Amino acid sequence: MGVIAWIVVGLIAGWLAHVILGGRGGLLGNLAVGLVGAIVAGAILPRLGLFIRPDFIGSIISATIGAVIFLFIWRAIRRA
């Protein structure tokens, strides 16, 4: 997947995580959360035995899962 596709996946995943968990976040914040979520999902999901189809939609799904996990942990750390 090219760089532009990663940016699009990151934006969509970050926005979906924002919708699921609520809170503040602009375009750049959603992009950052989505891209970090893709990295988190790439590290965690295979270790849990979850393999999502490696197409565009599958990338959005896994990056969104990772973004939600990342935001949940990030918010827990910031409140502590």
The whole-number pLDDT of residue 41 equals 86
Segment 49-66 shows an average pLDDT of: 87
Where does the pLDDT of residue 23 fall: very low under 50, low under 70, confident under 90, or very high at 90 and above?
A: confident
Identify which of 77, 58, 74, 70 has the alpha carbon closest to the alpha carbon of residue 9: 58
Per the listing, tokens 């973004």 go with 67
- pLDDT at residue 1 tops 70: no
The number of folded domains in the chain is 1
The whole-number pLDDT of residue 22 equals 82
Measuring CA to CA, how many Å separate 54 from each of 4, 18, 38, 59? 16, 23, 12, 6
**What's the whole-model pTM score?**
0.83
Neighbours of 14 (CB within 10 A): 28
Domain containing residue 26: 3-79
Where does the pLDDT of residue 4 fall: very low under 50, low under 70, confident under 90, or very high at 90 and above?
A: confident
Q: Does residue 70 or residue 26 have the better pLDDT?
A: 70
